Amino acid sequence: MTNTQPCLVVEDLRSGYERDVAVIKDVSMQAARGSVTGLIGANGAGKSSFLKSVLGYLKPQSGKVSFEGEEITGFRPDVSCSLGIAYLMEGHSVFPSLSVEENLLLGMWPWRHDRNRVRAALERAYDRAPVLMERRQTTSGLLSGGQQRILELERLYMTDPSLILLDEPSLGLAPKLAAETFERVESFSKEGIAVVLIDQNVRRVLEISDYAYVFQLGEVILEGTGTSLSKDVGNIVKEFI
Amino acid sequence: MNFELLTYPVVVAQFFVDGLGRGVMYGLMGMGLALIFGIMGLINFAHGAFFMVGTYLMYFVAVQLGVPFPIAIIAAAVGLFCIGAVLERTLISPLRKRMGENWLVDGYVMTIGLLIMLENLALIVMGPRDHGIARLVEGRTMISGIIVTYERVVVFVVAILVVLGLAAFMRYTNIGRAIRATSEHPDAAMAMGIDIRKIYTITFALGSALIGGVGGLLLSTYPAFPTIGSDVLLKSFIVVIVGGLGNVWAAMVAGILLGLIESYAQGIAASGWQNSIIAAVVVAVLVFRPAGLFSKSVSRP
């Protein structure tokens, strides 16, 4: 791993949708600031459930989740997110009847009473994505799929997070937009943020990942640097995905 | 049926004014129910009982304590806000936590339980006698032969203020935005750092405050009585179904529509027809626009 200081440390995490049935089976992983950590695996391998367990959408049955040195195991998602973890869930997560600006303002919910900080974050988001500025009063459900994804990514970034968890950010996007999305993901890590990335585009995930974990049936069955796994990507796809 | 009455413009206008006044009342009744359903997905069967509690609070504060009516109405709304918040936090929220995604059916049963409990409690404490006031506002005026009571004018103005106030709250406040976001995508709302448990409590309390305040406002028309909420619950359901489940603004428009239909039916038809006509309208809406007249989708959500 190229990074030194782990931002997220998960130890032997076990969780599931029913009390006695584990979907995630004793998974351990780390993600450090300034790096991209890839999670790959077939559909149903448990990658999304793993992220949900880290964030508290799924209550862990055992194991430990630490963020910036503090244990956050079983914290509610809103509490985890308020601590500085940003999460892009699978599928679209914009609030469709709210305007673009209202969506962005909700991204600053934990700091909503600090008007100066909210205004500054809003201006930064508009500087990075002028299309959002142009359409700031538009109902976000009327944006194209690509524009909605830009809105979601900028909304994630509003709170200045230390850790960003991305679940299928390129899903359903045209190739050009998907490429731009991956560029944005890389830019997050270059700014010192720890990024955990799940995506169907395994090759691209391994290309930009500093380290990656391969999931199968809720377990990590292989791990290594993105570069080393990339060399064997053909076999990984054939065997595990 | 006496259709001849409809040839007299003054009579038609009088029916319209009466219907408008009545409809605004129905709209106000339905708004709290629509709000709670729209955000939480919960059909609050205790809605009528909350109205009843509002009428008693208004009576107690205005008549027993002698507080001016406007303040007494606000007291009824605040009282129901607090009651709604406590009930949501102590009964509904734990149920949602224990049952997960399948909590709604249990939620319906719980609110039916609340309805029975509150009605019986009122019967035990207040007895089977009604407590009301003669008028909220005395007097009336005549405009081009049409009689308009000041009380109806007050109710109409209050309704407009409530609709505009609620719209502004939802549009321009952080809590309002969070309520809308939670109703659309609760998981994404949590990812923003929003504590959706608080949002549900605020929503339930707000819906309760709305119907409690309406109970106070309409005390002269609906005197406090243990089962006074039954008719209110029925009317609220009708406006919410006709307007579209969960749509607060549509509930107001549907209420006005219902009031107008009722007024004209009462004017031209023999007694008994008006309820049949209303029922026919509801059935027609359910057949042709099952999601409600003002819903964008054709089928029920």
Contact A220, A213 (CB under 8 A): yes
Q: How many CB atoms lie within 10 A of CB B230?
A: 16
Residues in B touching A81 (Cβ below 8 Å): 190-193
Q: Kindly report, residue by residue over B192-244, the tens digit of the pLDDT.
A: 999 999 999 999 999 999 999 999 999 999 999 999 999 999 999 999 999 98
Model confidence at B297, pLDDT cuts 50, 70, 90, reads: low
Domain for residue B127, yes or no?
yes
Residues in B touching A72 (Cβ below 8 Å): none
Model confidence at B296, pLDDT cuts 50, 70, 90, reads: low
Question: What's the average model confidence in pLDDT over B242-269?
Answer: 89
Domain for residue A33, yes or no?
yes
- Cross-chain CB nearest to A112 (options B174, B185, B189): B174
Q: Does an H or E element contain A239, and which?
A: helix A233-240
Structural domain span for residue A62: 6-93+162-240
CB proximity under 8 Å: B 157-186 to A: 174, 177-178, 180-181, 184-185
Q: What are phi and psi of B165, to 5 degrees?
A: -65, -45
Structural domain span for residue B268: 3-288
Indicate which of A58, A72, A93 best probes the interface with B, i.e. most B CBs within 10 Å of its own CB. Answer: A93
Q: Kindly report, residue by residue over A169-211, the tens digit of the pLDDT.
A: 999 899 999 999 999 999 999 999 999 999 999 999 999 999 9
Domain for residue A139, yes or no?
no
Share of chain B above pLDDT 70, in %: 98
Number of domains in chain B: 1
d(CA B162, CA A15): 46
pLDDT at B301: 44
Question: What's the average model confidence in pLDDT over A22-51?
Answer: 95
Domain for residue B297, yes or no?
no
CB environment A89-120: b (16+ within 10 A), e (fewer):
beebbbbeebbbbbbbbbbbbbbbeeeeebee
- A48 contact B CB<8A: no
Number of domains in chain A: 1
Q: What is the CATH number of the domain that holds A56?
A: 3.40.50.300
Question: What's the average model confidence in pLDDT over A80-104?
Answer: 94
Count, in order, helices (H) and strands (E) of chain B: 12, 2
- Cβ within 8 Å, pair B178-A81: no
Question: What's the average model confidence in pLDDT over A131-142?
Answer: 96
Domain for residue B269, yes or no?
yes
ipTM of the complex: 0.91
pLDDT at B2: 78
Domain for residue B240, yes or no?
yes
